[in-house]
Amino acid sequence: MVETVVKVRNLVKSFGELDVLKGVDLDLYKGENLVVLGKSGSGKSVLIKIMVGLLTQDEGSVKVLGKEVKGLSQRELNELRLKIGFSFQASALYDSMTVRENLEFPLVRNVKNLSKADKDKLVEDVLDSVGLLGTINQMPSELSGGQRKRIGIARTLILKPEIMLYDEPTAGLDPITCMDINNLINQVNEKYKTTSIIITHDLTCAKVTGDRMAVLLDGVFGAKGKFEEVFEHAQDGRVKSFYDYNFIKQ
C-alpha cells in the first residue's frame, strides 16, 4: 500500500469575511507529484502555507508525515519543516546575501558540526543540480527570474527534504524558462526522491510535472485525477473554461 505523506481533512480557512478554503480534503502519496490548480485567490498558496505552519487553519486537520501540524510545539514544527522544502513564488532569496550565503543559511543553522569542506561540497552539489554553479558568488539582484527560481529551489534542496512544495514555480517566466523549471522539478523528484505539491495555474507546467491534478473551485476540490481525466473530458464548465483559456495562448 502506498504511504500517505500529507492528509488533509475538512480544511477551512477564512480571512475576515472571506472564506477561502471551505472543507478541503486531500491525500498526497509518497513519491508522486500532485498539481493543485485554481484561479488566483482560490486558496492554493494558503493550503500549502498551512502545511508548513505559516498559517493556521480555522477548522479541520492537516497531517504531514503523520504529524498534526496545528498541535506541534515550535521545536516539533521546526523538525517537521526540515523535512519540507518550500519554493516561494517570488523565490524569496535573501537580498543582502550572495548565492553561496543564501544556500549556507539553512545549512549552518540546522546541521551541526559541519566542516567548511563539507559545507562547500553540499553547496556546490546542490548548485550543480540546478545547473547554476557559476553563480555561486553573485548577489540575487544580478540573477534573472529563472535563475532566482532555480536558486530558490536549490536552497530548499540543501537540507534534503522529503516533501517539496512549489508555489507557482513558473509564474512570471517566459515559456522556455518555464519548460526548464518544469524539467528541473521532474529531475529533483527523480534525484532526491521527493514527494511534491506543485501550485500553479499554468496547465503546461501541470501536464509536464504532475502525476495527479486537483482543481480548487470555490474553496473545495472540484475535480481530481490524472490530467486527461480532469481536463480533456471535463464536464464541469469551470474546469473546462480553465483548460480552454490556458490553451488558447498556444
Partner 1 sequence: MAGDPSNKDKIIGKRIDKFFIGLESAFKFVKRFFQEVWFPPYEFKEVIRQCYQIGWNSLPLISLTGFIVGVVFTNQSRPSLAEFGATSWLPALISIAVVRAMGPLVTALIAAGKVGSSIGAEIGSMKVTEQIDAMEVSATNPFKFLVVTRVLASTFMIPILVLYTDFVALLGAFTNVHFNELVSLSTFFVQVFDAISFLDVTSSMVKSLFFGFTIGIVGCYKGYNSTKGTEGVGKAANSAVVMAMFLIFIEELLSLQVTNFFRQL
Is 94 a residue that touches partner 1 (CB under 8 A)?
Answer: yes
Is 96 a residue that touches partner 1 (CB under 8 A)?
Answer: yes
Task: Report the C-alpha gap between 226 and 125 in whole angstroms.
Answer: 33
Residues 133-172, interacting with partner 1 (CB under 8 A): 155-156, 159
Task: Report the C-alpha gap between 110 and 108 in whole angstroms.
Answer: 6
Q: Which of 89, 98, 177, 204 binds partner 1 (CB under 8 A)?
A: 89
Q: How many helices (H) and strands (E) does the chain have?
A: 9, 10
Task: Report the C-alpha gap between 127 and 81 in whole angstroms.
Answer: 21
CB–CB of 190/11 below 8 Å? Answer: no
User: Which segment (24-32, 81-89, 192-200, 201-209) binds partner 1 by CB under 8 A?
Assistant: 81-89
Residue 153 CB coordination number (10 Å): 23
C-alpha torsion 220→223→225→231, nearest 10? -140
Contacts 24+ apart (CB under 8 A), 131-134: 131/184, 132/99
**Nearest distance in Å: CB 109, partner 1:** 5
Q: Which of 29, 105, 192, 243 binds partner 1 (CB under 8 A)?
A: 105
CB of 144 or CB of 241, closer to partner 1: 144
CA–CA–CA angle 26, 32, 247 (5° rounding): 85
**Nearest distance in Å: CB 92, partner 1:** 4
Is 15 a residue that touches partner 1 (CB under 8 A)?
Answer: no
Is 101 a residue that touches partner 1 (CB under 8 A)?
Answer: no
**Nearest distance in Å: CB 185, partner 1:** 18
Q: What is the three-class DSSP state of 172? A: coil
**Nearest distance in Å: CB 6, partner 1:** 15
Is 52 a residue that touches partner 1 (CB under 8 A)?
Answer: yes
**Nearest distance in Å: CB 28, partner 1:** 17
Burial tier of 3 (Cβ tally within 10 Å: 0-12, 13-18, 19+): exposed
Is 86 a residue that touches partner 1 (CB under 8 A)?
Answer: yes
Q: Which of 106, 136, 211, 224 binds partner 1 (CB under 8 A)?
A: 106
**Nearest distance in Å: CB 81, partner 1:** 5
CB of 171 or CB of 208, closer to partner 1: 171
Q: Assign residue 19 a region: left if phi > 0, alpha if psi is -120 to 50, beta otherwise?
A: beta
**Nearest distance in Å: CB 77, partner 1:** 8
Please report, as ranges, the residues that interact with partner 1 according to CB under 8 A.
49, 52, 54, 78-79, 81-82, 84, 86, 88-90, 92-96, 105-106, 109-110, 155-156, 159
